[in-house]
Amino acid sequence: MRMRSPIPHKKARIEIIPLIDIMFFLLASFMMVSLSQTHMKGIPVNLPSANSPPPPPNEKKDYVSIRVTEGGLVYFDNAPVLDSDVLPKLYQLHEGNKDVKVSLSAETLAMHGDVIGLLDKVRLAGITKIGYQIKAASVTGSAGTVPPPGPPGAPPPPPNKP
């Protein structure tokens, strides 16, 4: 004969909430210990001050930007230069630094012949490191929309007349 116990019988349960609390505590403890063991080491750097003197005028210049505008006007680093002074200025740049780099750009309405003439002068001065700044042209139709491309080799569509 089986006798019943006066203590109620409970099924075993696994409580997960205390386990989560302990895991978060261990995670935080390991993070704090690992952060306290790292030593931040840096390299001393001399930063420029706000009142640094401008570079001396006889310093070698290694880069110049040349721009051709509509009407054949030439600008060296956004400073206008007369057409007769372009070649002497290029010779002066080349004499100051044999490895001077030239960035050549032209406005949209600049004449192609003016740009090629300037390129010839740059080469005549002995400068060999020449870069070109090119912007994509925007093609729009009469209503401000881009015309659909035709098949390869097809002539372009005629312009719309109002």
**Torsion sign (Cα): 131, 132, 135, 139:** negative
More confidently predicted of 59 and 26:
26
* Structural contact between residues 148 and 141, judged by C-beta atoms closer than 8 angstroms: no
* Structural contact between residues 108 and 146, judged by C-beta atoms closer than 8 angstroms: no
* Structural contact between residues 157 and 150, judged by C-beta atoms closer than 8 angstroms: yes
Residue with tokens 């063991």: 37
* Structural contact between residues 146 and 139, judged by C-beta atoms closer than 8 angstroms: yes
Which of 103, 106, 101 is closest to 127 using CA atoms? 101
Instruction: Supply the DSSP symbol for 54.
Output: P
Give pLDDT, residue 88.
Answer: 92
Catalogue the E-assigned strands of 1-159: 63-68, 74-76, 79-81, 101-106, 129-132
Structural domains of the chain, with CATH? 66-132 (3.30.420.270)
Which of 158, 162, 93, 105 is closest to 131 using CA atoms? 105
In the predicted model, is pLDDT for residue 95 greater than 80? Answer: yes
Give pLDDT, residue 24.
Answer: 95
Give the model confidence (pLDDT) of 8-58 as tens digits: 777 888 888 889 999 999 999 999 988 887 776 778 888 777 776 666 666
In the predicted model, is pLDDT for residue 148 greater than 70? Answer: no
Nearest 5°: phi and psi at 27? -60, -45
In the predicted model, is pLDDT for residue 147 greater than 60? Answer: no
Give pLDDT, residue 25.
Answer: 95
Give pLDDT, residue 154.
Answer: 57
Lowest mean pLDDT: which of 53-62, 90-99, 109-118?
53-62
Confidence tier at 155 by pLDDT (50, 70, 90): low
More confidently predicted of 149 and 85:
85
In the predicted model, is pLDDT for residue 65 greater than 60? Answer: yes
CA 93, distance to chain mean position in Å, is 27
CA distance 106 to 134: 8
The pLDDT mean for the chain works out to 81
| Length of the chain, in residues | 162
In the predicted model, is pLDDT for residue 149 greater than 70? Answer: no
